[in-house]
Amino acid sequence: MGKQEQAAISPTRAENYSEWYQQVVKAADLAETSPVRGCMVIKPWGYAIWENIRQALDGMFKAAGVKNAYFPLFIPLEFLEREAEHVEGFAKECAVVTHHRLEAKDGRLVPAGELTEPLVVRPTSETIIGESFSRWVKSYRDLPVLINQWANVVRWEMRTRIFLRTSEFLWQEGHTVHADAAEAMELARHMLNLYEKLATDYLAIPVIKGNKSDSERFPGAVETFCIEAMMQDRKALQAGTSHFLGQNFARASKILFQSEQGKEELAWTTSWGVSTRLIGGLIMCHADDDGMIMPPAIAPAHVVLLPIFKKDSDRETVMAYTDTLAARLREKQYMGRPVGVEIDTRDIGGARGWEWIKKGIPLRVEIGPKDIEKQSVFVGRRDMGHREKMSVPTDRFVEDIADTLAAVQHTLYQRALEFRAAHTVTIDDKKAFYDFFTPQNTDMPEIHGGFALSPWCRDPACEAAIKDDLSVTIRCLPHDEALRGADAGSCVCCGKTAKGRAVFAKAY
Amino acid sequence: MGKQEQAAISPTRAENYSEWYQQVVKAADLAETSPVRGCMVIKPWGYAIWENIRQALDGMFKAAGVKNAYFPLFIPLEFLEREAEHVEGFAKECAVVTHHRLEAKDGRLVPAGELTEPLVVRPTSETIIGESFSRWVKSYRDLPVLINQWANVVRWEMRTRIFLRTSEFLWQEGHTVHADAAEAMELARHMLNLYEKLATDYLAIPVIKGNKSDSERFPGAVETFCIEAMMQDRKALQAGTSHFLGQNFARASKILFQSEQGKEELAWTTSWGVSTRLIGGLIMCHADDDGMIMPPAIAPAHVVLLPIFKKDSDRETVMAYTDTLAARLREKQYMGRPVGVEIDTRDIGGARGWEWIKKGIPLRVEIGPKDIEKQSVFVGRRDMGHREKMSVPTDRFVEDIADTLAAVQHTLYQRALEFRAAHTVTIDDKKAFYDFFTPQNTDMPEIHGGFALSPWCRDPACEAAIKDDLSVTIRCLPHDEALRGADAGSCVCCGKTAKGRAVFAKAY
Ligand SMILES: [Zn+2]
Ligand SMILES: [Zn+2]
């Protein structure tokens, strides 16, 4: 796009990142706010992303021996009370069902039939799954139990942001039970690897794997593993977590089993999840000032065919050519799915192509009488400028479709990787650290900072001081030794001996 | 099964059908009641059926141009008030959210943060989807809109029965908007045909397609189409409905569009749905006194391999043979899915085979040292007696797997069809009609009745009289002319001129 040209999305990322995000969601027709405060309507073009994420992950889960099940939407209050210490973190803001009937009264409907015990709409199914596990598991022969649930959950939010923080969202939560610690730990790590695979191979989002610090760890977990991604405003987004819960959860839920030696023992458990939040991350990682850019591996559709005819006499020829091309493309596969083809025949001029640019479809294909004469099509790639369109022989376009999509996928991943590299710095010095995370314009902070790899002494006090001063948190203690470095150097906060580097960043 | 032998499920169907049903659900490990009144836990073996139903239907929907979307779990009270006349039928018993916070008080958690307007947990998403449609549809160019949602819904039930009637259940609801009546009507009929295809080709349940009578019609619908199936207690189960809503729903939800002629017009809409209730129907149609019988087309798995070794020295050979066989089978496809193979190595004697019989897996394959010597396997089919096992050369078993599964599928469908035929009678006489539907033992009614094809005058008074006297309802006015017959004869109730035959039955 030329410098003078106006972007399709206003404001641009540089002008107002947060508002740009909302406008991309709208322009791409991904979702909308609903009449229910804090809840969203996920529109077909956005929901298809979730369907593709679900399909990809579900296949990986099943290959790992995980089975899907479904647990009740409602949680009895006593379940939360029983584990009140544990639910401290999230159970306060939730939807509470107190009545089971509506009655007409003075022309209005009013709640009636008060429940003796209120029910909570699940903020997670952890407690109710734990209750089931306590009944399902009796002997070592019943183990491991590997269960996953795809469902909606509700956490009442006062300040919401579509996909990123909504009162209701969709997610999967996996829960597993094991006879020994090592097996549980290995499972938790394996699930993190699957999330990494989802992020890199499907979402084209590079991630850093690591452990959470004590203060950022999931309540009740012995170890929380996470993948962290950099958004285009250089903030971090936690894109998935996997928890090794030790025997804590089994103790709270009374999950006991008789061991091979006939002894009654507490089981070892894990839990792990990702949510529709990932779609927010996908947008913030890839979209540009012209709208959404869909990685082909999870794109709702791969190609839009845009037939062009000025004369009615051309109509039949062009449409026949278009339909044949669509059929040929749909017979091809990319990443285990048939190539998804949309045909847009609307006669609305240039707005048609721009709509698809904003929706982020990987390939736009114009088909006019002259193209047909040459047996070629005119192809625009969403990862390139909107003017860089190429005439490609139709047969070759069809033949190469999977390779072309793979090339788009690769470009997006590389671009995100380079962006992250450009905004990840190794900082040992406290002043440099503070400078890195302090905007120059305090009234309207510009996009600044990024990931800082800095030595940390492991003292929560240093972590807290940095959080207070800069709203910067420890995203993870990276698994990659090249990032973590040696257990040497001085803490970027207190100067005492550090135990490797942590990833510091502002975060969603 | 020999006459003397005890069945695996107690009581049997003949002894106590209703209790037999509960025991099959339990023995097959399909689902269980939960600590939340009226809600069930769908266990992996039961949930997989729903996943397979979902996959089959979703593919058919998408081929019909339908897109999935997701709407909020909560419905504002005013939405129900606005359409109060319309929701009369189901909105009274529902879960009402009145608070959005829990607070600790005297060691307990109590609801806090009262909402200014209570929210209802969706008993259906109809009203909130209607609200979206009213904003999405502006011009004839936006039509048709073809939307489907897979979700959980809640209708507070006092007397519940697992899968058949639960407070929370899973379903899909489709909603479409059209510019003209004929297109909407055609869509509603097409969806009914897809449900018929699901029932016959996947669930192996024969169904009768038809229209509901005025009194059984969905509130607000101009025409309700349904498929009705016969269970083994000869009662009917409505297995799917599709509604042509005319302009009624568009009027209530203000779905207006500008026509090609520039006129503002009310749109024409449809809705259609099936739910986890289908799993209850599947059980009641196919299961026998030994437990569940899974139609291969929606079975959670197709084959269980049961390695047998008495000596430890045989173990390695048998397990290697088993694993190889599993791998070969998994490369095969049946009905668009890879053949699903379970391996059960537990050393629990005869209980092992019986567990799989009760779970209803289509094929059980025993593999012992002698089978391996002969390069054969010992196969039991769930649609045959549990003793009728056959030695089959392993290569042939693998080669024929899809055909074998198709044979099981065919047997189940034919058996259900014959059962229905045996218990469907054409009755013109009122006394015979009453006899047909009256048990001989009134204290503990035996399994009796079935489907009666009887002439009906179309007067709701006759329908009501029969319902009052016998608890028998008009299931549908069948589309099939061979069933409906001519518009002649005398109403089985009042003797006046009938307009074709209706299907009368007791129903779930
Ligand atoms: Zn320090
Ligand atoms: Zn009559």
Among B388, B297, B307, B374, which Cα is nearest to B340's?
B297
**Dist CA B125 CA B171 (whole Å):** 11
Smallest Cβ–Cβ distance between A119 and the set B36, B50, B152 belongs to: B36
Are residues B317 and B278 part of one domain? no
Among the bound ligands, the one closest to the CA of B491? 2
Q: What is the DSSP string of B328-343?
A: HHHTSEETTEEPPEEE
Give, in degrees to the nearest 5, the angle at Cα B228 between B225 and B232.
170
Beta strand A376-381 pairing with A390-393: antiparallel
Shortest alpha-carbon distance between residue A128 and chain B (Å)? 8
Is A128's CB within 8 Å of B40's CB?
Answer: no
Chain A residue with the nearest C-alpha to that of B348: A141
The pLDDT value given to residue A85: 59
Are residues B313 and B279 part of one domain? no
**Dist CA A360 CA A290 (whole Å):** 9
Q: Say yes or no to pLDDT of A3 above 80.
A: no
The pLDDT value given to residue A312: 86
Per-residue pLDDT band at A495 (split at 50, 70, 90): very high
Give residue B157's identity as a one-letter amino acid code: E
Is A97's CB within 8 Å of B100's CB?
Answer: no
Tokens of A478: 């990276």
Is A47's CB within 8 Å of B40's CB?
Answer: no
Q: Say yes or no to pLDDT of B106 above 80.
A: no
Are residues B108 and B182 part of one domain? yes
Is B71's CB within 8 Å of A132's CB?
Answer: no
**Dist CA B182 CA B130 (whole Å):** 20
Among B502, B486, B498, B490, which Cα is nearest to B454's?
B502
Instruction: Choose from B55, B57, B109 for mutation: most chain A CBs within 10 A.
Output: B109
The pLDDT value given to residue A83: 67
Are residues A337 and A281 part of one domain? no
Q: What is the mean pLDDT of residues A26-43?
A: 96
Per-residue pLDDT band at B219 (split at 50, 70, 90): confident
Chain A residue with the nearest C-alpha to that of B71: A41
Is B101's CB within 8 Å of A35's CB?
Answer: no
CB contacts of A113 in chain B (<8 Å) are 93, 156
Are residues A73 and A214 part of one domain? yes
Shortest alpha-carbon distance between residue A71 and chain B (Å)? 5
Q: How many CB atoms lie within 10 A of CB B64?
A: 16
Shortest alpha-carbon distance between residue A107 and chain B (Å)? 8
B168 touches chain A (CB under 8 A): yes
**Dist CA A407 CA B480 (whole Å):** 54
Residue A13 falls inside a structural domain = no
Helix, strand, coil abundance in chain A, percent, nearest 5? 35, 30, 35
- pLDDT digit string, tens, across residues A279-309: 999 999 999 999 999 999 999 999 999 999 9
Are residues A466 and A392 part of one domain? no
Chain A residue with the nearest C-alpha to that of B157: A100
Q: How many CB atoms lie within 10 A of CB B349?
A: 8
B65 touches chain A (CB under 8 A): no
Chain A residue with the nearest C-alpha to that of B113: A93
Among the bound ligands, the one closest to the CA of A430? 1
Chain B residue with the nearest C-alpha to that of A114: B96
**Dist CA A225 CA A185 (whole Å):** 10
Shortest alpha-carbon distance between residue A94 and chain B (Å)? 5
B window 169-188, beta carbon within 8 A of A = 170
Q: Provide the CATH number for the domain around residue B448.
A: 3.30.110.30
Beta strand B341-343 pairing with B303-307: parallel
Chains A & B: contacts with CB separation below 8 Å: 184
Last residue of a domain, one of A405, A439, A464: A405
From start to end of B72-144, where are the E strands? 74-76, 96-105, 108-121
Residue A52 falls inside a structural domain = yes
Among B399, B398, B382, B381, which Cα is nearest to B390's?
B381
Chain B residue with the nearest C-alpha to that of A71: B41
CB contacts of A102 in chain B (<8 Å) are 77, 80, 91-92, 94, 96, 120
Is B168's CB within 8 Å of A71's CB?
Answer: no
Residue A412 falls inside a structural domain = no
A64 touches chain B (CB under 8 A): no
Is B75's CB within 8 Å of A108's CB?
Answer: no
B window 325-384, beta carbon within 8 A of A = 346
CB contacts of A109 in chain B (<8 Å) are 77, 80-81, 84, 91
B168 exposed, middle or buried (CB, 10 Å; 0-12, 13-18, 19+)? buried
* Total of domains in chain A: 3
Residue A67 falls inside a structural domain = yes
Q: What is the DSSP string of B223-287?
A: EEEEEEEE-TTS-EEEEEEEEE-TTHHHHHHT-EEE-TTS-EEE-EEEEEEEETHHHHHHHHHH-
- pLDDT digit string, tens, across residues A447-488: 999 999 999 999 999 999 999 999 999 999 999 999 999 877
Shortest alpha-carbon distance between residue B337 and chain A (Å)? 13
Among the bound ligands, the one closest to the CA of B213? 2
CB contacts of A73 in chain B (<8 Å) are 39, 121, 152, 154, 168
The pLDDT value given to residue A431: 97
Among the bound ligands, the one closest to the CA of A496? 1
**Dist CA B229 CA B274 (whole Å):** 13
The pLDDT value given to residue B1: 43
Smallest Cβ–Cβ distance between A72 and the set B75, B147, B168 belongs to: B168
The percentage of chain A sitting over the pLDDT mark of 90, rounded to a whole number, equals: 90
Q: Provide the CATH number for the domain around residue A45.
A: 3.30.930.10
**DSSP, res A19:** H
Among A72, A81, A238, A96, which Cα is nearest to A167's?
A96
Shortest alpha-carbon distance between residue B459 and chain A (Å)? 31
- pLDDT digit string, tens, across residues B160-182: 999 999 999 999 999 999 999 99
Give, in degrees to the nearest 5, the angle at Cα B436 between B433 and B438.
110
Q: Say yes or no to pLDDT of B87 above 70.
A: no
Are residues A447 and A352 part of one domain? no
Beta strand A145-154 pairing with A108-121: unpaired
Among the bound ligands, the one closest to the CA of B458? 2
B window 94-113, beta carbon within 8 A of A = 94-104, 108-109, 111, 113
Is A98's CB within 8 Å of B111's CB?
Answer: yes
CB contacts of A74 in chain B (<8 Å) are 36, 39, 95, 168
Query: Do residues A355 and A290 make contact, with C-beta atoms less than 8 angstroms apart?
Result: no
- pLDDT digit string, tens, across residues A256-272: 999 999 999 999 999 99
Q: What is the mean pLDDT of residues B228-234?
A: 98
A49 touches chain B (CB under 8 A): no
Residue B195 falls inside a structural domain = yes
The pLDDT value given to residue B90: 46
Is B101's CB within 8 Å of A94's CB?
Answer: yes
Q: How many CB atoms lie within 10 A of CB B295?
A: 29
Least confident among A340-344, A365-369, B81-85, B99-103: B81-85
- pLDDT digit string, tens, across residues B250-271: 999 999 999 999 999 999 999 9
The pLDDT value given to residue A1: 43
Q: Say yes or no to pLDDT of A347 above 70.
A: yes
Q: What is the mean pLDDT of residues A491-495?
A: 97
Are residues B324 and B459 part of one domain? no
Per-residue pLDDT band at A105 (split at 50, 70, 90): confident
**DSSP, res B297:** G
Query: Do residues A17 and A232 make contact, with C-beta atoms less than 8 angstroms apart?
Result: yes
- B126 Cα–ligand 2 center, Å: 35
Are residues B365 and B264 part of one domain? no
Last residue of a domain, one of B373, B405, B437: B405
Residue B278 falls inside a structural domain = yes
Domain that holds residue B36: 29-286
Q: How many helices (H) and strands (E) does chain B have?
A: 16, 25
Among the bound ligands, the one closest to the CA of A463? 1
C-alpha to C-alpha distances, A181 to A186, A217, A249, B357, nearest whole angstrom: 9, 18, 13, 35
Q: Say yes or no to pLDDT of B225 above 90.
A: yes
The pLDDT value given to residue A91: 52
- pLDDT digit string, tens, across residues A396-440: 999 999 999 999 999 999 999 999 999 999 999 999 999 999 999
Are residues A325 and A433 part of one domain? no
Shortest alpha-carbon distance between residue A40 and chain B (Å)? 6
Residue B20 falls inside a structural domain = no
- A467 Cα–ligand 1 center, Å: 13
CB contacts of B127 in chain A (<8 Å) are none
Reported pTM: 0.96
Shortest alpha-carbon distance between residue A99 and chain B (Å)? 5
Are residues A397 and A310 part of one domain? yes
Are residues A439 and A371 part of one domain? no
Shortest alpha-carbon distance between residue B5 and chain A (Å)? 30
Is B119's CB within 8 Å of A36's CB?
Answer: yes
Smallest Cβ–Cβ distance between A109 and the set B70, B84, B170 belongs to: B84
Is B120's CB within 8 Å of A104's CB?
Answer: no
Last residue of a domain, one of A260, A286, A312: A286
Q: Provide the CATH number for the domain around residue A383.
A: 3.40.50.800
**Interface ipTM:** 0.96
Is A152's CB within 8 Å of B151's CB?
Answer: yes
CB contacts of B73 in chain A (<8 Å) are 39, 121, 152, 154, 168
Smallest Cβ–Cβ distance between B96 and the set A44, A70, A97 belongs to: A97
C-alpha to C-alpha distances, B372 to A239, B305, B375, B397, B401, nearest whole angstrom: 49, 13, 5, 13, 18
Residue B248 falls inside a structural domain = yes
Q: Say yes or no to pLDDT of A348 above 80.
A: yes
- pLDDT digit string, tens, across residues B380-418: 999 999 999 999 999 999 999 999 999 999 999 999 999
- Chain-wide mean pLDDT for chain A? 95
